[in-house]
Amino acid sequence: MIKRPIHLSHDFLAEVLDDNSIAVDATMGKGNDTAFLAGLAKKVYAFDVQKEALEKTGERLEGLDISNAQLILDGHENVDQYVTEPIRAAIFNLGYLPTADKSIITKPDTTLLAIEKILERLEVGGRLAVMIYYGHEGGDMEKDAVLDYVSKLDQKSFTAMIYQPLNQINTPPFLVMVEKLS
């Protein structure tokens, strides 16, 4: 069966991860991506602004016996204050966490700042995956801001791709993929 965008996001990052790599989960939520990245990388830095996300993810990682993830209660826009090593792979799942406070959503300004900081620190050959959920209020603006930013990246330094359902009703999430070339 054809891959859903969320599955492709994991495959895309898995291709460049190994046990020497540093990975970033910019939007931890319940820790789906944190657990996935931690299984492949040396260390994962995971960010969320909700204490509940850290609690849920902490429990999940403990259950899986995963201990190479640092859970950070802070916005991803401050990624440079925590991650000093070169980054091999990073992921964002934009929007809100369906099972938590739906008013806590990612915002265009902080999302772009975090993407910019992560791309600066990405290793050559490193990759960024951004899952864009935009059905909520403000989601359209954030989608446009990310697409605009990524579309303007210098093609000598980055390759940027999109993977999006075309004939699905409502506002199905889609994936933006970036790879650093130089």
Ligand X SMILES: C[S@@+](CC[C@H](N)C(=O)[O-])C[C@H]1O[C@@H](n2cnc3c(N)ncnc32)[C@H](O)[C@@H]1O
Binding site for ligand X (CB under 6 A): 27, 29-33, 47-50, 53, 75-77, 93, 95-97, 104, 106, 110
Six token digits for residue 28: 């931890």
Supply the Cα-derived Rg of the chain in whole angstroms: 15
Tokens at residue 94, please?
A: 């934009």
User: How far is the C-alpha of 139 from the C-alpha of 33, rounded, in Å?
Assistant: 21
CB-nearer residue toward ligand X: 32 or 171:
32
Q: What is the DSSP string of 139-156?
A: HHHHHHHHHHHHHTS-TT
CB-nearer residue toward ligand X: 20 or 47: 47
Residue pair 128/177 in contact by the 8 Å Cβ criterion? yes
Q: Which residue is nearest to ligand X (CB)?
A: 29
Least distance CB 47 / ligand X (angstroms):
4
21 vs 134 by CB, closer to ligand X: 134
CA distance 53 to 72: 10
Nearest approach, Cβ of residue 160 and ligand X (Å): 21
Q: State the minimum distance, in angstroms, from the CB of residue 182 to ligand X.
A: 28
Residue closer to ligand X, measured from CB, 49 or 160? 49
